[in-house]
Structure 1
């Protein structure tokens, strides 16, 4: 299902129709008070697979030392503000001129029909649905998008247009690179921002998954409504025969269970129990 195309915004760099012969005349960058600085102080920026996939597109362009200078800008706090919205990241970056530059990193948002397919795929998989509804983004999130014919991340520079109001006509310039490195750290902190960038905010996505789970999932009494009679013996058991269980139904109790506050080797107890529930329901 093809993603919807966004109309291109007016380029920031129109105010600079001719690139200068040299940038040395602009001097040193102007320090920013209370700017947004990268948490990483040395080495690579970005810890998760999703921030790595995002930065891989940037690093494929190979524009000399601009990426390194952008990393320096990011760590120095030269970015004044940054917003991740559907279809674009827009930031203000202080360079060597008195007027800060405006930098933008765009992406094509997915059409509503495409997001419907994604939400349906999430809702059909108990593991993905439970993880997302619990506030966790699974590592294999990208696979779900691939199942419905979409690529979560841009595959090249053409799918991620960038623009900056600075005089440097290289793309990305150091200001764009600084913004990209900070975006990667934002993705580390909240991977739902990747989905927002692609056009679907967290609350809308989770509401869509819940609606589909309510429509298609088996009826399950909420745990809170039965916990008071958990240890009470019921009536005589009916004769038990073999019945086919819908895939994922055995995990519904785990999905209803509130957080236990207990972990096993760093894994939430509910998720540690999930493989056993899957085997019971097989």
Structure 2
């Protein structure tokens, strides 16, 4: 994996910051201070692990290959207990040649603002500060199965449009039999069975009612629902016996 060296604080941001003239402190000429921010790069082994996680997620690798930073990119780093964005002062060191004893001083704070503006314009700069360039990151992602498929699709050449005679599907003719019977046309070649088998009688009478149980949810009386229905059916049967 052709990554840049990642031992110690190797990725430095050096800036020359103009100071202020202050005769009260004996500063009669505009000073020029050297301000430095040193970022701790992520080790090569951890970058390999992070790239493997990113390469397994199509939503992440597709946006990175399109030069976009996913909003949830930090989640892949957290899975491996790594952080892309600086989490604490341990992830970077700052220094300034000005006489101010505080750290960060106003010159370092100014460089912070400039760095934030640069990251807004090019978020991939953060990857470089953490140990991998944009080109190396995309090259490693393109080696994965998802990366190969996406790269092939992105690099695919557009096919030329082929003119057609019609926008509709061409009608194809089918052979027609020499003689056609109207009876066969309407009834079909295979006749349906003339008789239908009668369904077997149920071994349990009124099974639909008995499945509800003695006290179904809609039954609010104290007596059994099944007994009440049996009595009702018996009355109907007795009343209509002459008609049966």
Q: What TM-score, normalized to structure 1?
A: 0.48
Name the CA shift for 1:181/1:228 in 2 (closer, same or farther; >3 Å): same
- Count the aligned residue pairs: 152
Mapped to 2, the partners of 1:167 and 1:223 lie a distance apart of: 55
- Structure 1: 4+ residue segments shifted above 6 A: 218-223, 229-233
Name the CA shift for 1:87/1:221 in 2 (closer, same or farther; >3 Å): closer
In structure 1, the partner of 2:82 is: 150
Mapped to 1, the partners of 2:87 and 2:119 lie a distance apart of: 17
Mapped to 2, the partners of 1:230 and 1:122 lie a distance apart of: 39
In structure 1, the partner of 2:182 is: none
Tell me by how many angstroms 1:99 deviates: 3.7
Tell me by how many angstroms 1:171 deviates: 0.2
Greater gyration radius: 2
Tell me by how many angstroms 1:222 deviates: 7.2
Name the CA shift for 1:205/1:220 in 2 (closer, same or farther; >3 Å): closer
Mapped to 1, the partners of 2:81 and 2:17 lie a distance apart of: 36
Mapped to 2, the partners of 1:147 and 1:212 lie a distance apart of: 19
In structure 1, the partner of 2:14 is: 90
Name the CA shift for 1:218/1:199 in 2 (closer, same or farther; >3 Å): closer
Name the CA shift for 1:191/1:109 in 2 (closer, same or farther; >3 Å): same
In structure 2, the partner of 1:111 is: 43
Mapped to 2, the partners of 1:221 and 1:188 lie a distance apart of: 29
Q: What TM-score, normalized to structure 2?
A: 0.54
Alpha carbons 2:142, 2:148 under 8 Å: kept: no
Superposition RMSD in Å:
3.0
Please state whether the residue corresponding to 2:35 is helix, strand or coil: strand
Mapped to 1, the partners of 2:117 and 2:125 lie a distance apart of: 11
Alpha carbons 2:142, 2:151 under 8 Å: kept: no
In structure 2, the partner of 1:208 is: 140
Q: Which residue of 172, 176, 185 maps to 2:108? A: 176
Tell me by how many angstroms 1:226 deviates: 7.7
Tell me by how many angstroms 1:216 deviates: 7.4
Q: Per-residue displacement from partner, 1:115-158 (whole Å, max 9, x unpaired)?
A: 11122122111111110110110111111111222011222223
Q: Per-residue displacement from partner, 1:206-247 (whole Å, max 9, x unpaired)?
A: 1110112378769977784684589999xxxxxxxxxxxxxx
Please state whether the residue corresponding to 2:131 is helix, strand or coil: coil
Unpaired segments ≥5 residues, structure 2: 1-5, 21-28, 170-244
